[in-house]
Copies of this chain bind each other. A is one copy, B any other.
Amino acid sequence: MPLTRLEAFSDGVFAIAITLLVLELKVPTQGTGLLHDLLESWREYFGYLISFAFIGGIWMAHSELTRFLKASNGTLLRLNLLLLLFVSFMPHTTSVMTEHTDDEGRHVAVVLFGLNVLLATLVMSLMIRYAAHHESLVDNQAAEHELRAFERERRAALSFQVVSVVTGIFLPDVAIVLYLVVALALIFDPRPWLRRRRHLAA
Contact = CB atoms under 8 A, between A and B. Distances in A.
Interface of A: 1-2, 4-9, 11-23, 25, 27-35, 38, 48-49, 52, 56, 59-60, 63, 66-67, 74, 77-78, 81, 84-85, 88-89, 91-92, 95-96, 99-100, 103-106, 108-109, 112, 187-188, 193
A85 to B, nearest CB: 6
Q: Which of A9, A17, A33, A60 has the most CB of B within 10 A?
A: A9
Contacts of A4: 7
Contacts of A13: 15, 18-19
Nearest to A106: B31
B84 A18 contact: yes
Contacts of A99: 27-29
Interface SS of A by simple majority: helix
Given A16-B16, A17-B19, A56-B85, 6 more contacts: A1-B63, A13-B18, A28-B96, A30-B105, A32-B103, A32-B105
Contacts of A15: 9, 11-13, 15-16
Number of copies: 4
A34 B95 contact: no
Contacts of A105: 28, 30-35
A8 B11 contact: yes
Contacts of A188: 78
Given A22-B89, A31-B104, A5 B187 contact: no
Contact of A25 (B7, B11, B52, B92): B92
Contacts of A66: 5
Contacts of A63: 1, 5-6, 9, 77
